[in-house]
Structure 1
């Protein structure tokens, strides 16, 4: 693990040794501070990172020393928080008991986080990080958007956190929300001046709890009853305005003429949906499922990744295919009604991750949730230059693809609309079969040697924009070359980066 900089232990201990504790007692800073105790810090680091550790890395989280983890691979809680409140600067500084071991034999990492600290004045979370027998003190893990309630605070991972977690992609990424609450508030608030009636004395009770630096004075303060989960922030009406996506579906047909070309046209091939994706009957659209990601309806931003893959295969000759294209790891990112659709693209065994296939434009720039569900229908998708390369030049940049339908649930009990894809043939899993089929479990295959699937527009119509004289195998060969040369870094063995 690369060396991590910025050790920032308080200097008070050193100064006390040099000058004596009495010298510190008379300073104005110490006179303004009052002790705090019995606080808890709840933070999940980042949901996608937890999924990676316990999923792809086949690893584990092991809390100890008073730290705990919520069920179902949830957030972590560090208890026994003690520290100080500065009534002059309104800074809350707390240190917490417990440690968290994160390990994976498969991916070769073993690290421990301990001495977790929250400083509202510096607006950050730090921890000691131990790895390979070496400990780095006070590593800044996340910048925090501090609020007075100290519940559901936004976090953003630091460069040092990216080093600790083993991926540069985490630098600047949104972390899980942070909550800091007092579990057993004292009956009388501490008073640094000895006067319990002083209006400036910090009190961790519901009436006058510490107001951290940068917070809004009108917000209610934390109390023992406020053990709000850090999963989302909320508006004054109680409706969640930002947080993690609980579930969701993406409906997209890629392009109807391309599906027709593969199944009923010169490719004489088949389309296979798998891994949680399905295809509507009659060679219809695809539905990708199990969305994860984040949303913010105030900022009108959303990022959702979906499970499932779809494979287009055709131009078979002696058991080999000139066209063998797979799209997986689909991700939609929107900001103010516009955004991108990305996917991992594999062609003839060569893979490029996170290719921006299409620019997206929604009818409205506003993200609105109804019954804890955000739904967007008929989002316009236009092919990008990288997307055109991924399709081997079969379509040109700017070509309008099939529209995108998106529904994401903001809570576990939210009801998503029935998703049947909006394909030509209505609902179903693409029951047509043909060819030799792919090994493994799939959600349905359309096409093959027969003509199962939609023929709307006909073969001539499907190829009108590109020329009907595309030679057999040209699409697959061109796709392989362009993916390798122009669509990003390609690796022979696919290594999926978490969304």
Structure 2
């Protein structure tokens, strides 16, 4: 049912856990105390998060070369490096008798594409999400408020409390972490009949959506029903209560206070941009600088968690490649911005925005308050190969990556005139080394093909293709 009036907060969002999941979180003492069905209480869910990407192909379309749009988060939602969204602040109840959960989560995610003037033809937001589960049938629902603009009429329709996705809990086993959260990971989700119109008809009912991952923390009941305050010696609360007030994300990781990254993308591509065919140029903004042998991006932020062997860092700056100018328009128009890296247990990924572009390996260590990763060999990902129009194969060698990150305010970082460490990043006539991820317009049309082909030594083929296109146009 759709509504055009203002909406109010409904029942909780995105949360439904199988009975065993919460029992694992609350402990066997709770299960024993609540064995009689008539005595089974509803346990309050005091914290949690639902992680969901909605649909990967939809996200790619929105920010890709056709939609040329953006995805934003607000009201408590988080955006993760892998493209997923976190709906936070989980609250709700767990029915200990029926083993069913209903939990609400904060956050709003907005998808906008096809901009015309100041308006977006595609303008869709998902908020007030909740998940419910039925342990008996191993099914669940993702329910949300969806605001969606009709691309033909331009009218915005509110789908209030719409059953957006159906969940299949078959075979989903609960896991418990050391903070007292119970997880249900990668729950398969499909678009419902009611949810399809909220997507503006982009997808049919039954289409696969991204899986949902749920983590919740349920608080055990007071074993003495006549007591007005929790019994401090109660065995079940003693294991869960101390962590029930702990944040979902601990403060243990060290914060990155500053840092830089240097990266050349691929030298053959830089050579082509600055060469006699593309006759291109490079524009720097947002803090990106020429380091003498490439580009440097700085003002890094992020965290390092040595216990989890997890490093995340994001950098500021934009590098804009332009080539093949015709009447003030550049057929080759490529932007690198929002560069970020993630290293988990020695395996690293360089992202352009939310798209994984390159992989590398790195042993992360701190010395004198600095994490220094020098001249790390990098290889193109499958997503990166698609970004380059398929003219670079997955696994192709890219220029090495160098980054320095400060965890101490007194740490010494490389100065603005320093050059990158390692080989294969030479500039000269080949142009700069890029230290950023790729977001923005990818290589387009035959110019895109030409850039990649000439970078790989296919100049003659590219020029022949241009002549064939010119002949066909005439």
TM norm structure 1: 0.48
Query: Which structure's relative contact order is higher, taking Cα pairs within 8 Å and 6+ residues apart?
Result: 2
